[in-house]
Chain A
Amino acid sequence: MSASILAQTLASGILIGLIYALVAIGLTMIFGVMDIVNFAHGEFLMLGMYSAFWLFTLYALDPIVTLPLTILMLFAFGVILYKLVISRIANASMLSQIFTTFGIMYLLRGVAQFLWKPDYRTIENSSVSGTVHFLGLQVGEPQVVAGVGAVLVTAAIWWFLNHTRLGAALEATASDKEAARLMGIDSHRMFALAWGIGAACAGAAGGLLATFFPIFPDVGSTFILLAFVVVNLGGFGSVTGAFIAGILVGVIEVMGGLLIGPQYKMAIVLMLFLGVLMFRPQGLMGKA
């Protein structure tokens, strides 16, 4: 196993990890603010992918160009979903919440299959195809762009949460809903905002993934377990945590697959996950 193959694999791991991070950030925000685990999160990813695909196929618009549009559409979708369904279970038991989001997961998959058939679609020859060479490494251009995109969106989220009033309000609701309400912050709006941003993040990840990954109605299921692991590892509710954990999981998955065997990639990630849960359940950066 030469050094160059190891270095190459590390680079690939970081890049895919950035995608995991972006998906997980959306998930962790929803949990941080509302205490709800969104099992339908993978479907936001799927919708983002289809959004990029249809805009490309029907209107010949490049996925990178349409990315902001995809993000906006998914944001709106997240807010609408909150208003129609989630708001009704905001105070329900954990079990109800889990199963509502499960239902949404199946529903979105079923609707996607109904509308767009189960065939596999891809975006070919977008503005980001080809390979990039640097430092003796060779990586796909779509992957690099996706990675950069993920970093940018994460940075934007981080800036929003820490340097804007609205972001501060969101954080306040996340740490103490009642206190925030007493300060005049409307939790309803904050919840809707959280869902919108959460969906938008996953949608962004989807839009970026669509440049190199096959698109099909059930694609969310491929990413969701990894997203949960990342969120747990990073600490429920922590954006920075999700970012770091995402990269970590990406690297471990790919390196583990290379060194131990690809059929065990997930097993390695899961064992790491359980290990962290046992010794540091709040994750790397979560509140204890």
Chain B
Amino acid sequence: MKQWIFPAAFLAVALALPMFADASRLNLAILVLMAAQLGVSWNIVGGYAGQVSLGHAAFFGLGAYTSTLLLVKFGVNPWFGILAGGAVAVALSLAFGWSCFRLKGHYFAMATIAVAELVQIFFTEWDYGGAAVGLSVPMHKTGWAWMNFASKLPYYWLALALLVITLAVNLWIERSWLGYYFRAIKDEPDAARSIGVNIARYKQVALSISAFFTALGGSLYAQKELFIDPGSVLATGLSIKMALVSILGGVGTLFGPLVGSVVLTSIEEFTRSMFGGTGRGTDIIIYAALIIFIAVFYPTGLVGWWRSLRWPRLRSAARKGERKGLGELA
């Protein structure tokens, strides 16, 4: 029961926030929610199934481009477009999984980077898709029917809803047989294989689910920012951020990405408004120092650290972050 205090408190704050926040603060909150949702999606395959993907921007961008292209070229409503985007991302994940799941560890991570870079190059050169010029979502079709709003508030509700849905899916996975297989793949692949678990199939399932939800996030981004180009939705930096949010908060934990997102986004915004105007790069230095600090001293993330405070015998394991130990803390 106690474990529901945090999520309940979070939900309460999230529901009440719009009453107190001005447009800029609300915007910030939306960024936090969106980054969290992407982190949760990544976490499904990266944290729970232990397949470290550094190319998730490909799925994000595919979602954004699919729904936007369908809208701009064929007038397809974004509510359908968003699902189409998810489908396209899943298709890519299938192609990718089939060819790359044999790869282990670093090789797999490198392959994901290569695929994402290729997708970015493709969209940079694809004239029909706007190439480097990008695509603009038209502003004249507004309202819930078209997922396009003048005020920030509806985006906030959408982002919150998407996050809750993604979390719910993640929760169900965690509690189900699927989660059990994922953990097996992550921690003891050989043992799992020996009892007949089809490793490749479940890796694929994890990747596909993750890809689907990442793509939904991409479409939401497109509808909110109203402009996408390869640099803003397909860059490798985005992939890093999605993984970073989970690592910061705690990979393989349900709310890790959420915690990570709140902290990371706040720090980013705060350091940029404080130091960004000077142009000296101080905000980047602070951001980087934080990443190093967490990765070195608290590899199980903030959630892991929190748990180690409450259960001291886990503290030393949290600090050392040994390879095997991570599985127990998930």
**Which of A105, A113, A267, A274 contacts B121, CB < 8 Å?**
A267
Q: List, in ascending order, chain B residues with CB within 8 A of A105's CB.
A: 288
Interface residue total, chain A, C-beta cutoff 8 A: 44
Query: Which of B102, B285, B294 is the most central at the interface, judged by chain A CB atoms within 10 Å of its CB?
Result: B285
> Are A110 and B288 interface neighbours, CB within 8 A?
yes
Is B133 in the interface zone, CB < 8 Å from A?
no
Q: A89-B296, A93-B299, A236-B106 are in contact. Are A99 and B284 (CB under 8 A)?
A: no
Q: Do most interface residues of chain A lie in helix, strand or loop, or is the interface mixed?
A: helix
CB distance from B118 to the nearest CB of A (A): 5
**Which of A106, A263, A266, A278 contacts B288, CB < 8 Å?**
A106
**Which of A96, A225, A236 contacts B321, CB < 8 Å?**
A96
Cα separation A263 to B120 with both chains bound (whole Å): 12
**Which of A110, A225, A267 contacts B113, CB < 8 Å?**
A225
> Apart from A113-B284, A270-B117, what are 19 other A-B pairs with CB-CB below 8 Å?
A37-B106, A92-B296, A92-B321, A93-B323, A94-B105, A94-B109, A99-B295, A100-B295, A100-B296, A103-B288, A106-B287, A107-B285, A107-B292, A111-B285, A264-B121, A264-B125, A267-B121, A274-B99, A277-B111
Cα separation A93 to B287 with both chains bound (whole Å): 21
CB distance from B59 to the nearest CB of A (A): 17
> Are A229 and B114 interface neighbours, CB within 8 A?
yes
Query: Which residues A234-284 have CB closer than 8 A to chain B?
Result: 236, 263-264, 266-267, 270-271, 273-274, 277-278, 281
Cα separation A263 to B132 with both chains bound (whole Å): 11
Output the nearest chain A residue to B293 by Cβ-Cβ distance: A103
**Which of A91, A236, A264, A273 contacts B114, CB < 8 Å?**
A273
> Are A98 and B52 interface neighbours, CB within 8 A?
yes
- A–B pairs, 21, beta carbons within 8 Å: A89-B296, A89-B299, A89-B321, A95-B46, A95-B247, A96-B296, A96-B299, A99-B244, A102-B291, A102-B295, A103-B289, A103-B295, A109-B288, A110-B282, A228-B113, A229-B114, A267-B121, A267-B122, A274-B99, A274-B114, A277-B100
Output the nearest chain A residue to B296 by Cβ-Cβ distance: A88
Cα separation A99 to B251 with both chains bound (whole Å): 12
Q: A98-B109, A102-B240, A277-B110 are in contact. Are A85 and B299 (CB under 8 A)?
A: no
Can you list the 6 inter-chain pairs with the closest CB atoms, starting with the nearest? A103-B291, A106-B288, A103-B292, A110-B284, A107-B288, A113-B281
Cα separation A104 to B295 with both chains bound (whole Å): 11
- B residues contacting A by CB (< 8 A) are 46, 52, 54, 99-100, 102-103, 105-107, 109-111, 113-115, 117-118, 121-122, 124-125, 240, 243-244, 247, 251, 280-282, 284-285, 287-297, 299, 320-323, 326
Cα separation A264 to B107 with both chains bound (whole Å): 23
> Are B102 and A281 interface neighbours, CB within 8 A?
yes
Q: Do most interface residues of chain B lie in helix, strand or loop, or is the interface mixed?
A: helix
CB distance from B210 to the nearest CB of A (A): 15
Q: List, in ascending order, chain A residues with CB within 8 A of B118's CB.
A: 267, 270-271, 274
Cα separation A229 to B114 with both chains bound (whole Å): 9
Cα separation A33 to B227 with both chains bound (whole Å): 45
Q: List, in ascending order, chain B residues with CB within 8 A of A278's CB.
A: 99-100, 102
Cα separation A106 to B292 with both chains bound (whole Å): 10
Q: List, in ascending order, chain A residues with CB within 8 A of B296's CB.
A: 85, 88-89, 92, 96, 100
> Are A100 and B292 interface neighbours, CB within 8 A?
yes
Cα separation A278 to B110 with both chains bound (whole Å): 12
